[in-house]
Amino acid sequence: MTVIKAINRASEKLIAAGISTARLDAEVLLSHIFMRDRAWLITHRDEALDETKLGLFEAAINRRSRREPLQYITGRQEFWGLDFNVTPDVLIPRPETELIVESALKIIRAASRAVLVVDLCVGSGCIAVTLAKESDTVRIFATDTSERALAVARGNARKHSVSDRIRFLEGDLFGPLAEFDLKGMVDLIVSNPPYVRSGDLPTLQPEVRDFEPELALIAGPEGTEIQQRIIDAAPGFLRKDGSLIMEIGQGQSNSLTGTVNDSCKYKIPEILKDLAGIERVIIARKK
C-alpha cells in the first residue's frame, strides 16, 4: 500500500462518513503517523507503508469516521501560531478565541507596569499560555472546575516555558481566588466560558456533541448563566478601568450587553465580531 493509495482509500471512507474535509483529514492523519508535514506526503506519494504504519493509519481513520475530532486523534491543535496539547478533557481551541488574546494584548502592551490577569474556565490553557508567551510582564491566575483540564493546561504551560508566571487553581470561577488578596487588584479578566444552551446540545455537530466535554460547553437552559455570573462578580476584582474580555455565543450580545449596562459598574461595552461576522467577544471596562 503506497502513500497515495492509502490516502485515496481513507478519503473514500471519510466521505462515506459524511466528513466534508475527508482528503485533508486523511493527509493530516497520515502526516501525523509519519511525523512529517503534508508536503512530504506529496514528494513521497509512491512510498510504501509498512504494516505498522498502515495499521496505525487505519485505526486513526476508523476513529475519524466515527466523527471523533481530528485534534483528539493527533493530540494537538494550533492556536495563535503555537502548538497546544489537547485531550477529550478540554475544549478544542478555536480561531475565534484568538480575538480574546488580540484584545488582551493591546491592553497589556499599553500598560506601563506589570499586569495581573485572571483567566476563568482556562481549559487547555490556550489563552493564559499565549498571553504569558507574548508578554513577560503578565502574572496570571487561571481557574477551572476540572482537575483533568488543569493537568492539560499545566502541561501546555510547561511546553511553552511559562509555568513560572501562571498559577493554576481548581474551583468554580472566582472561588479559588478567595485565599489571595486580589479584590480591586486585577487589571484584566479573560474567559471563554461555557455558553451553549442545554437544549441545543442535540443539535451540535457530532464532533462537538459526542466528544468535547459537556462541562466546557453547556451553561444552562439560557446559555448565558455563567457569563452573567462572571459579569456580576468581576467588578469586585478589577481595578478602576480594568477590563473583562469574554467570549459569547451567537445571538447573546444583546442580552449580555443589557446585563453589563444594568450592573451600573461598567462603561458601555464593546462587541467584537469574528471572521464570519458573528458577534463573538464582549469587552467591558470597569467604571
pLDDT digits (tens, 9 = 90+) for 187-223: 999 999 999 999 999 999 999 999 999 999 999 999 9
48 and 125 share a domain? no
41 and 127 share a domain? no
Q: How far apart are CA 29 and CA 33, in angstroms?
A: 6
Place of cell 455570573: 229
SS (H, E, C) 88-134: CCCCCCCHHHHHHHHHHHHHHHHCCCCEEEEEECCCCCHHHHHHHHH
The reported pLDDT for the residue numbered 87 is: 98
The reported pLDDT for the residue numbered 101 is: 98
Q: How far apart are CA 271 and CA 248, in angstroms?
A: 10
Indicate the burial class of 94 (C-beta count within 10 angstroms; 0-12, 13-18, 19 or more): middle
Q: Domain for residue 72, yes or no?
A: no
Q: Domain for residue 132, yes or no?
A: yes
46 and 101 share a domain? no
Q: Domain for residue 71, yes or no?
A: no
Q: How far apart are CA 195 and CA 146, in angstroms?
A: 17
The mean per-residue pLDDT over the stretch 18-22 comes to 96
Residue 166, pLDDT > 90, answer yes
Given 40, 66, 92, the domain boundary residue is: 66
Residue 112, pLDDT > 90, answer no
- CB neighbour burial string for 122-139, b if at least 16 within 10 angstroms, e if fewer: bbbbbbbbbbbbbbeebe
Residue 155, pLDDT > 90, answer yes
The reported pLDDT for the residue numbered 272 is: 98
Q: How many structural domains are present in the chain?
A: 2
pLDDT band (50, 70, 90) for residue 160 = very high
52 and 182 share a domain? no
135 and 272 share a domain? yes
